[in-house]
Chain A
Amino acid sequence: MSNHEHNHGEHECTCFPGFKHDTLIPMVGVITDIREETPDVKTFRVNAPEGGKLFEHMPGQCAMLCVPGVSEGMFSITSSPTNKEYQEFSIKRCGMLTEMLHSLEVGSEITVRGPYGNNFPVDTVLKGKDLVFIAGGIGLAPLRSVINYVIDNRADYGKVDIIYGSRSADDLVQLKEIREVWMNTPGINVHLTIDREQEGWEGHVGFVPTFVKELGEAGQVEFGINTISLICGPPIMIKFVLGALSDMGVSKTQIYTTLELRMKCGVGKCGRCNIGSKYVCKDGPVFRFDEIDELPPEY
């Protein structure tokens, strides 16, 4: 695995002979494509100015994107490492920085540093398992990296179920890829839901946690001893999904999620994302649920 061995202290920067490239010094990235996913989410494709990817990463890892002079923010790398050409970020407009990012056009330059954090254990724990992905809204971003990694290494994993919901049909991100790729991959079942009835929507209607329970109880999605669930979404959704899974007898050791705290450095030094003896930027953002239980409830 490349992530933790990635030693930022060692690559030389070309600007200053002898300068050791610090992890806080970003690289320049070029936006090479922008997809409007929903009224407030855009997916940005990022490349190195000379082409290719800025760095390698593992599914679940994040990077700091910055519009110089505005601010910097942590975002999940939503593309899979198996994508050799570029990296993608799905970004929800919700404040100064994200507003600014949304105003950029193809060809604009931003700065990027990373990758930061740990990753979903795709090469260890998840291997050979049946996987259930449960996402709400923009929470699909980190899971999409894992899903595409699993699709590109299909033989290494068992059955895959993807349960994904949003407020409305217009708020589902990556709908094109979901319909064209995920739904057409053998052994992958996609279950979509939206919160309220909507004209033209023929799929399921209802909140994600209830849907998870319905699917489980009807046997449409199996939560067996060989199943690992990966959940990402708003805290309230995570809370109720967790309740539903526990009602169905799923152990916390079979569930992974990501935590989201305020971050600045990304390397466990600025203190901002510290809870208990963990730094979410470095020891996370991916945690197994029983590990979260050991943290003070400050997330």
Chain B
Amino acid sequence: MYKIAKENLASLFALIHETNELYLPVQVAGQTNFAAWSEDACVDLDTLKTVKSPKDVFFPQSETLYTCNKEDNKLRITPEALVDAPFVVFGMKACDIKGIEVLDRVFLSDPVDSFYAARREHGIIVALACHEPEESCFCKVFGVDCTEPAADVATWMIEGELYWKALTEKGEKLTEAVKSLLTETCEAKVEAEKSAVKEIVEKLPYSNLSLEGWNGDVLTEKFNDELWNELYKPCLACGTCTFVCPTCQCYDIKDYNTGNGVQRYRCWDSCMYSDFTMMAHGNNRNSQMQRFRQRFMHKLVYFPANNDGMYSCVGCGRCVDKCPASLNIVKVIKAFSEKGDK
């Protein structure tokens, strides 16, 4: 275990940046999101949750797949180069890392998405353990320990010092490269911090939410439940919940005519949108109730059915914070369990 004083982090970032692209929480116009580091970036490690999850470091909101040119009526396809240089993501929280585990199930299953795989291969994750979990957090429900993030390097911010522990080979290598700035220390403070934070987690309002009754085998029963007809009503179909979510992975594929060839790109899409499933002959989910149900059924029933019980929610609470209509997955889970209690 090592540590570094908070005021020396700028040097640490500069040193990492010498050999790696570096992404970390940066405040822009009052909002904190993961962005590329530069010397004058306003790094913000105090905000617990970035507005968007850091998933776009691995699965960008928009990315080019290839360019297609036409010369003498012949088409030529030039695939976009894959990421081939190492990069570091600093400050990811345990829930968002679990989110990457969920995305891995999607993008690394056969056939492997090489754009995503290249980023996973070259990305080094330095996690920051949570110090002050918030009321909207319920990662515990999904088996996430926010005090012990599973990354290449885990760090803890305690009393103005960042404690640093490599957990994988990639992490060891990075540690070696920045060792000149680190000092060796013992784990006592980190252990105390972990127990203190765990106590906070226990007291969070949603920490004891029960997932009983949600699994891959309850498809018909949950799908046909009357509750959906009430629950969805306030939904504005804005898609905010899907964009801020670390596990939502639906995407669209589109063309952009550059004037000098056609760029084919993919970008995040949302199952909450009415044209998502629109076809020439009609739409197979033509009410917002159906689309709302799809999002939650996918996270709590369909995904677990295909992925050994793993849920496609990590309890980050972003949808709880951001939905303009105060709808969220907690409300859905609660509505069903309250109904069960009756």
Q: Hey, which bits of chain A sit against chain B, CB under 8 A?
A: 7-9, 13, 15-16, 19-28, 49, 68-72, 94-95, 107-111, 260-262, 264-265, 267-272, 274-277, 294, 296, 298-299
**Smallest CB-CB separation from A29: which chain B residue?**
B75
For the side of the interface on B, what is the size category? 35 or more
Contact of A272 (CB < 8 Å), options: B66, B115, B250, B257: B250
Query: Does B277 contact A22, Cβ atoms closer than 8 Å?
Result: no
* B115 / chain A contacts, CB cutoff of 8 Å: 22
* A15 / chain B contacts, CB cutoff of 8 Å: 77-79
B11-19, B178-186, B192-200, B298-306 - interface stretch: B298-306
CB proximity of B160 to chain A, nearest CB, Å: 43
Query: Does A261 contact B277, Cβ atoms closer than 8 Å?
Result: yes
**Smallest CB-CB separation from A8: which chain B residue?**
B111
* B209 / chain A contacts, CB cutoff of 8 Å: none
Query: Does A265 contact B302, Cβ atoms closer than 8 Å?
Result: no
Q: Hey, which bits of chain B sit against chain A, CB under 8 A?
A: 65-66, 68, 70, 73-79, 81-82, 106-107, 109-115, 216, 219-220, 223, 249-253, 255, 257, 262, 264, 266, 269, 271, 276-281, 284-285, 290, 294, 297-298, 301-302, 305-306
**Smallest CB-CB separation from A275: which chain B residue?**
B284
Q: How far is the CA of A153 from the CA of B262 in the complex (A)?
A: 43
**Smallest CB-CB separation from A280: which chain B residue?**
B284
Q: Which 4 A-B pairs have the closest CB atoms?
A: A271-B250, A277-B305, A68-B68, A22-B114
* B266 / chain A contacts, CB cutoff of 8 Å: 24, 270
Query: Does B253 contact A68, Cβ atoms closer than 8 Å?
Result: no
Query: Does A108 contact B73, Cβ atoms closer than 8 Å?
Result: yes
* B294 / chain A contacts, CB cutoff of 8 Å: 274, 298
Query: Does B106 contact A269, Cβ atoms closer than 8 Å?
Result: yes
Contact of A271 (CB < 8 Å), options: B73, B79, B249: B249
Q: Given contacts A19-B81, A262-B277, A262-B279, are A269 and B70 in contact (CB under 8 A)?
A: no
Q: Given contacts A7-B111, A269-B113, are A298 and B65 in contact (CB under 8 A)?
A: no
A270-B269, A298-B294 given; name 12 further pairs at CB < 8 Å.
A19-B81, A20-B114, A24-B253, A24-B266, A25-B79, A107-B73, A109-B74, A111-B68, A269-B107, A269-B251, A271-B250, A298-B290
